[in-house]
Amino acid sequence: MHVVDVLSVTRRFGAKTVLKDVTLSVERGEIFGLLGPSGSGKTTLIKLMTGIDKSDEGTVRMLGEQMPKLAMLQRFGYMAQSDALYQELTALENLQFFASLYGLSGSRRKERIQAAMKVVDLLDHLNKPVAAYSGGMKRRLSLAISLLHEPELLILDEPTVGIDPVLRQSIWNELTALKERGTTIILTTHVMDEAEKCDRIGLIRNGELTAVDSPEGLKSASGTDSLEQAFIVLGGGVRA
């Protein structure tokens, strides 16, 4: 069974069509990347998958259930594009809050907070106010929050944007480790070398999904030796 099924989905905002007839499936246990420039519709597609937004045409299924559905919000972990954290509160208070929203309480909550913060290596900074966190620490804290309820599916919107190479490497190590434990990961990116690390990539441009394949598959299909070239060829060539 697919983890996420998107079937001929179209989404319009007013007169503007943001997604045009998109169809794709995400397999269990893979890292699936959505690659495209900003404004191409990646975030909209993510929002449709999570059920935050509703498509105008077509259907979205997550774990077999038709979206949007409130109960499904418990089943995935989500990391938004912006660091949605409460600056005045400490990291611990942020974690406690979100953990409670996912129904965790008592010693189980404490245990999960410790575990999630260990994954992102922030255990020493648990009691610091988030306002004192650096940009990279905030991204890692956001990731820790998405891991709190041990979801089988992780949906990450630009998880490494604005992060230095060392930190990016460490986040990718964490994602790979999660994948090995059986977590399915869907992420968006506009960085080519990051997309190389995904098992499969969906190329998205102007609201259209132009190709879906593994990085190697995309390169050979386009007859190029870099993902950037492949993106240009498969996306309909260079635009003036």
Chain residues in the site for other proteins (CB under 8 A): 50-54, 68-71, 73-74, 78, 80-89, 93, 96-98, 100-103, 105, 129
Residue with Cβ nearer other proteins (70 or 240): 70
Nearest to 54 by CA among 34, 69, 73: 69
Chain Cα centroid distance, residue 122? 21
Q: Extract the tokens encoding 63.
A: 């774990």
Residue with Cβ nearer other proteins (109 or 168): 109
**Could you give the CA distance from residue 26 to residue 60 in angstroms, rounded to a whole number?**
12
Nearest approach, Cβ of residue 20 and other proteins (Å) = 20
Nearest approach, Cβ of residue 234 and other proteins (Å) = 31
Nearest approach, Cβ of residue 89 and other proteins (Å) = 6
Residue with Cβ nearer other proteins (116 or 195): 116
In order of 135, 137, 174, the CA distances from 131 in angstroms are 10, 11, 24
Residue with Cβ nearer other proteins (92 or 232): 92
Nearest approach, Cβ of residue 133 and other proteins (Å) = 14
Chain Cα centroid distance, residue 72? 16
Sign of the alpha-carbon dihedral angle for 163, 167, 169, 170: negative
Nearest approach, Cβ of residue 125 and other proteins (Å) = 18
Residue with Cβ nearer other proteins (130 or 233): 130
The Cβ of residue 222 has, within 10 Å, a number of other Cβ atoms equal to 20
- DSSP for 69-110, please give it: -GGGGGTEEEE-SS----TTSBHHHHHHHHHHHTT--HHHHH
Residue with Cβ nearer other proteins (46 or 209): 46
